[in-house]
Amino acid sequence: MVKVGIIGGTGYTGSELLRLLLRHPEAEVTAITSRAETGKPVAALFPSLRGHTNLVFSDPSDEQALAGCDVVFSATPNGVAATHAPALLRRGVRLIDIAADFRLQDIAVWERWYGMKHPCPELVADAVYGLPEVHRERIRKARLVANPGCYPTAVQLGFLPVIEAGLADPGTLVASAVSGLSGAGRGAHVPMLFCEASESVRAYNVSGHRHRPEIAQGLSAAAGGPLDLVFVPHVAPLIRGMHATLTLRLLRSDLDIQALYEERYRSEPFVDVLPAGAHPDTRMVRGTNVCHIALHQPLPDRLVVLVTIDNLVKGASGQAVQNFNLMCGFPETLGLADIALFP
């Protein structure tokens, strides 16, 4: 059994991570931290976990709390994981950060978008970006994994095959994506209150969202040169779910794009390219680590890619467990075989 610790277990990603790990046959969660809930039984905060764990929240400043862990997940606000990383890595602990501290390789860009000085810039170059469909072999050997954001996961998986094949006009990439309210975290924010968000859909941060440079970084690597996009995020009155509508102009219109996507993702356990002309629903991936992709060509040289994921699973904690499996040499699907809840 691999001994696992979780830093920050009271948010949506932390609680989702704990739910997944408690059912993982090769993971033993030995510690979970929360500064605000120190000393409180986890099941008291999350009654859904009654009978599944006797863990008690410990203080993250207690160095003994995570002693003996083989792998630690950080499900904390941005900037926190980087303060824990040096000490953990010195002790030989492998770290998976579900926040954004190590996603961007350009430190100046990170500091501009996240509005703070990076706590440990010396480790950024060591971090492996945890999108298994691209970096699987590097993740297996990594000691520090930067788990991708939910929007970047959906958008990159949707664009990657045509970018890798050199078929996309680089000046025409547009991503319009809708996220459930859980994507904003568990804190109390007026725009996320029921009376504010219910029965309404709105765009936000259209002039600049911090996930855009993360997406551009990944797509640029796939393209072999600088590449950017227009990214428009939206929030909808869903608890879970993410739907991305991606558009671009194709440089060639004589190729079978459906076959290209099917071949690219043929061996990927968590990417399902739907039959041509399908329209994916967020509810069909709810609670799963699966990404659904559907393709449309309304004009011969125009491609529309529809992508759905569960923003808390494939977009966060499930992908973190997928990375954990790779790092530990387990089957990639271990503990992640759930079928979507329906209805």
Q: pTM for the full model?
A: 0.96
34 contacts 57 by C-beta, under 8 angstroms: yes
For residue 304, the one-letter residue type is: V
| Distances from the Cα of 132 to the Cα of 86, 199, 262, angstroms | 24, 36, 17
- Residues 52-67 pLDDT 10s: 999 999 998 877 889 8
Average pLDDT of every residue of the chain: 96
Tokens representing 322 are 């997928």
- Of the residues 150, 195, 291, 328, only one is catalytic, namely 150
The pLDDT of residue 73 is above 80: yes
What pLDDT, on a 0 to 100 scale, did the predictor assign at position 213? Answer: 98
Mean pLDDT of 317-326: 98
Mean pLDDT of 242-250: 98
CB neighbourhood size of 6 (10 A): 32
What pLDDT, on a 0 to 100 scale, did the predictor assign at position 232? Answer: 98
What pLDDT, on a 0 to 100 scale, did the predictor assign at position 64? Answer: 80
- Residues 257-306 pLDDT 10s: 999 999 999 999 999 999 999 999 999 999 999 999 999 999 999 999 99
What percentage of the chain reaches a pLDDT higher than 70? 100
CATH of 150-311 among 2.30.30.90, 3.30.300.90, 3.40.50.10880, 3.30.360.10: 3.30.360.10
What pLDDT, on a 0 to 100 scale, did the predictor assign at position 180? Answer: 93
48 contacts 23 by C-beta, under 8 angstroms: no
- Residues 156-212 pLDDT 10s: 999 999 999 999 999 999 999 999 999 888 777 788 788 888 999 999 999 999 999
The pLDDT of residue 316 is above 90: yes
CB neighbourhood size of 116 (10 A): 11
CB neighbourhood size of 59 (10 A): 15
- Per the annotation, the verdict on 150 as an active-site residue is yes
In CATH terms, the fold of domain 2-126 is Rossmann fold (3.40.50)
- Report domain extents, the chain: 2-126, 150-311
Q: In the beta sheet, which residues pair with residue 175?
A: 231, 246
- Residues 106-161 pLDDT 10s: 999 999 999 999 999 999 999 999 999 999 999 999 999 999 999 999 999 999 99
What pLDDT, on a 0 to 100 scale, did the predictor assign at position 32? Answer: 96
301 contacts 311 by C-beta, under 8 angstroms: no
| Relative orientation angle of helices 211-223 and 132-141, to the nearest 10 degrees | 90
Domains 2-126 and 150-311 share a fold: no
